[in-house]
């Protein structure tokens, strides 16, 4: 519930608003796309067709079979990198397609 006091920090108000409106998943969806390019590099990002975040599951669709194979062995590392970038343990599972 948002407080109606003027002595609250703007960051706290925004956090409360995001929590009340359940916007966290949508904000994280955008942030994950940015993190993917930043953490994985432009070559991997260029072969990535789609990145989805659904119910704590990160779904990555790539158009290269060798890359898909390499990423499959790195699921735990990918999950840790993304969670580190988000600042919390949000992603519980990584699916590579």
Contact of 16 with 2, CB cutoff 8 Å:
yes
In the chain, domain spans:
25-96
Asked which of 10-14, 17-21, 28-32, 91-95 is least confident by mean pLDDT, the reply is 17-21
* Residue 82 in tokens: 């993304």
How many angstroms from the chain centroid is the CA of residue 65?
23
User: How far apart (Å, rounded) are the C-alpha atoms in residues 23 and 40?
Assistant: 26
pLDDT 10s digits, 47-59: 999 999 998 999 9
Q: Measured over all CA atoms, what is the biggest interatomic distance in the chain, rounded to whole angstroms?
A: 56
Three-class secondary structure of residue 89 per DSSP: coil
Is the entire prediction scored with pTM above 0.85?
Answer: no
pLDDT above 70: residue 1: no
The CATH code of domain 25-96 reads: 3.30.300
């Amino acid at each position: 519930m948002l407080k109606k006091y003027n002595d609250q920090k703007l960051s706290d108000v925004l956090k409360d608003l995001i929590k009340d409106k359940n916007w966290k998943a949508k904000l994280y969806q955008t942030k994950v796309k940015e993190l993917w390019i930043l953490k994985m590099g432009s070559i991997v990002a260029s072969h990535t067709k789609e990145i989805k975040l659904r119910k704590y599951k990160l779904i990555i669709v790539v158009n290269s079979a060798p890359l898909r194979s390499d990423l499959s062995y790195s699921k735990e590392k990918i999950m840790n990198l993304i969670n580190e970038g988000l600042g919390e343990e949000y992603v519980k599972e990584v699916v590579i397609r």
